[in-house]
Every structure is written in C-alpha cells, then in structure tokens.
Amino acid sequence: MQLYSQSVCRYGKSPYVYPLYGLGELPQAFARLSAVHGGTYMLHKPIDEIVMENGHAVGVKAEGEVARCKLVICDPTYAPDRVKKIGKVVRAICLLNHPIPGVQNVTSCQVIIPQKESKRHHDIYISCVSHPHMVCPEKFYVVLVATTVETENPHDELKPGLDLLGPIEQLFYSVEDLFE
C-alpha cells in the first residue's frame, strides 16, 4: 500500500507504469537494469540445453558457454518435458479507428466480461491501447480480446467481447496452447 501511495502521480496521473511501444519494452528494460547492476545477457544465441543439477534448472548452455543462474524462465518450447498442456487460449487482435463505445473516449482501458454474464466457465478479457502508448498511429486503437478455449469453435467464444467493439477495421485470430 505504501509503494502504491508513493507511486501515485510520479509519472502522470497513475501509479502504474505502461511500456511505450508495446510489451517488448519490458524485457529491454529488464536487460538495461540488469546491466546497471553487473548482469550480462546473450543476444541471438541458440540455447543448446537447460543445465540441470539435482532436478533444478541452474543455467543454460549456448554455443558451448554456460550461463549459470538461480532461476530459468523460458518459453515452454525450450523445456517440453517439464511443462503440461492444460488448455488453449484464443485471442483476437483488432484494429479500430474509433474508441470502444461506452468507455467515454479514453485512450486505453481494460474490460472484463464475467463468466456468468457470457454464460461461460472463464471470463473474457479486453485490453485497449492507442497512440499515446506508441503502438499505433493517431486515431487508431489496438484491442486484444482473449479467453480460455471451452469449445470446438474458439473464434466464436470471443463474440461477446467483439460485439462490444463496434466496427472493426482489421481482425487477426490466434489459438495458442496454455501450459502449467
């Protein structure tokens, strides 16, 4: 609570920091902060293996070099034998030339459609960003609509969220495995 209080109005009107130019800025910021504190990172190096000792990941081996660490965080494709598929997530990336109707012309917002309202087992999440976040030109909005897949027709499961958006200029779907 104290951190929240100290963060209010530090960078604008919100205690939250949002990365400009998209979420790719988060790993870049982490890499910079790591370098300031003496950390190193390897770019464009293929991972040969995750180094294991006593059942725990202690580093990665890349082109014969081992980088040791306390914790390895990676995409599931790097450790397929250590993850368990528990479902799928369907996402729609939508490009709009107008704000989401009913949200008072804000430049960003998060909307959650509760599971009971959409008669589903999982909520539907809607996230909208726009020009101030440096992710699209002025007068455009990038909206992500996502939920956990429950049927054989995952695109149809996003309909309650897509219906809230009004006219959609471009729509891109993806269905990805969800791992534990």
CB count within 10 Å of CB 51 equals 16
Q: Are 135 and 95 in contact, with CB atoms under 8 Å apart?
A: no
Residue-averaged pLDDT of the chain: 88
Instruction: Please state which of the four CATH numbers 3.30.519.10, 3.40.50.720, 3.40.50.170, 3.40.50.11540 is assigned to the domain occupying 85-179.
Output: 3.30.519.10
Average of pLDDT values for 44-68? 90
Average of pLDDT values for 54-61? 92
Looking at per-residue pLDDT, the higher value among 106 and 120 belongs to 120
Domain ranges of the chain: 25-82, 85-179
Q: Are 115 and 121 in contact, with CB atoms under 8 Å apart?
A: yes
CB count within 10 Å of CB 165 equals 21
Split at pLDDT 50, 70, 90, the class of 16 is low
Q: Are strands 49-53 and 56-62 parallel, antiparallel or unpaired?
A: antiparallel
**Distance from C-alpha of 153 to C-alpha of 19, rounded to nearest angstrom:** 33
Average of pLDDT values for 160-173? 98
Determine the residue type at 126.
I
Q: Are 176 and 89 in contact, with CB atoms under 8 Å apart?
A: yes
| Cα end-to-end span (Å), the chain | 30
Q: What is the CA radius of gyration of the chain?
A: 20
Q: What is the pLDDT of residue 136?
A: 92
Positive or negative torsion for Cα 11, 12, 14, 20 = negative
Percent of the chain with pLDDT over 70: 89
Average of pLDDT values for 77-103? 93
Split at pLDDT 50, 70, 90, the class of 42 is confident
Q: What is the pLDDT of residue 14?
A: 62
